[in-house]
Amino acid sequence: MCKFDPPNFNTPPFTPFNMKHFTLLLLLLTFFCRAQEIKVIRGPYLQNFTPNSGVVRWRTDIAANSQVIYGNSPSQLNQSVKDENLLTEHEVEIKNLSPGKKYFYAIISAGTKVGGDETHYFNTVPKAGSTKPVRIWALGDFGNSSKNQADVRDAMFNATKTHKPDAWIWMGDNAYSNGKEEEYQNHVFRVYQDTFFKNLPVWPSPGNHDYAGKHNPALPPYFKIFTMPTKGENGGLPSGTESFYSFNYGNVHLISLDSEAMETDSSYLYNENGKQAAWLKKDLEANKLPWTIVYWHKPPYSKASHDSDTEIWMYKVRENITPILEKYKVDLVICGHSHGYERNHPMVGHTGKSATYDAAVHKKANEVAPNQYVVKKGEGQGTIYIVNGSGGQLGGKQKDYPLKSSVYSNVTEGGSMLIDVVNKKLNAQWICADGVVRDMFSIEKK
């Protein structure tokens, strides 16, 4: 606390000269005390990382300047980026970084410092096409401050203690129930700040709850909270919007779509000739990396808490968008919305209702052992569609659950996915809230 003893104005001598200096001293002390009171109330969190750059964001309770100091170790934070503008929403881009490298950092606003220890670090993205191992955490339907959410978080934290994730992708419905600022603060940042936000870049996708049931991208706080790549900063085709985008991580191409937005041409994701679908086709056409993962909120196949046979936002995507994904040999599609876990056989051409699935027609896979797929050069494999929507919310199923095309389904345990890509092999596991791995599979490309 700042304390000082003011002069006694009743005791001479007291002159105008003394008064002027006292006023200046009072102003300086007021500024100093005010600076001491500044608090970081959100973050730091990491956004839009590339091989050579990245964004560090945080929020303060009082407008202040922004500075990130960084370096090769916590004791050598000898590089700095500073913005003297007085802001409460701090967004600092660091440039001229080396690809695939670990840096330690701290943030500073008006003298208040956070970080500068072993847990505050960021890793730049490897060069596109690099065969350096990539670890991805996929989390869906989580921000509700439930015990399940905390347990799913802790299970992933414990499972990755010795090998941390490189990228964090979200399947939407990130903050219940309406994606409000305070809901993001209470149900998202409060829950993950100490464990993941300070050292794991997140590439999110929005859900219907993040949009509060509306379809106007200008409304949700989501778009003010996060910084997404819009210009192809990290590979992929520029989208010109934070609603949907793509990026590369090593030899994996990732695409985040928006199942909720009504685009400027009045189309939605499920319109095969709409703005988003047109961009998706071009992006997939341009992609030359060996692995492709696409993720968004409302799934094309589900019989958990939502029914893809009856809900237009789901069956229209199945009818109109899955053929695009399969044409360009997308490996994995991961969605949320339905509050369970469902994994389908590798499929092509299954655009009808669940009951119409025919393994002889729609399953396309060389399964050398249970849940082990080998893709021979020139032959290809069907796309694996996954519902990963129990990171916080949990439960519910349809009368005809599970999907006929399902390999494994579970609506009783919460969980999230860990995906490891090492050159030509992909391993995926569903880690439940109790730490048990209840589903796993692998794909190897010859």
Domains and CATH numbers, the chain: 1-37 (no CATH), 40-123 (2.60.40.10), 134-445 (3.60.21.10)
pTM to 2 decimal places: 0.92
**Token couple for 63:** 């407008």
Write out residues in the chain with pLDDT < 70, as ranges. Answer: 1-36
The pLDDT value recorded for residue 129 is 87
The pLDDT value recorded for residue 119 is 98
The pLDDT value recorded for residue 128 is 86
Q: b or e along 166-197 (b: 16 or more beta carbons within 10 Å of the residue's beta carbon)? A: bbbbbbbbbbbebbbeebbbebbbebbeeebb
Instruction: For residue range 114-168, list pLDDT tens digits in order.
Output: 999 999 999 999 998 899 999 999 999 999 999 999 999 999 999 999 999 999 9
The pLDDT value recorded for residue 20 is 52
The pLDDT value recorded for residue 4 is 42
Instruction: For residue range 371-398, list pLDDT tens digits in order.
Output: 999 999 888 999 999 999 999 999 999 9
Q: How far apart are CA 139 and CA 10, in angstroms?
A: 67
Q: How far apart are CA 362 and CA 350, in angstroms?
A: 6
Sign of CA dihedral 314, 317, 318, 322: negative
Write down the residue that tokens 């007021």 correspond to. Answer: 30
The pLDDT value recorded for residue 24 is 52
**Which strands, in side-by-side order, build the sheet including 134-139?**
202-203, 167-170, 134-139, 415-422, 425-432, 437-445, 372-375, 367-369
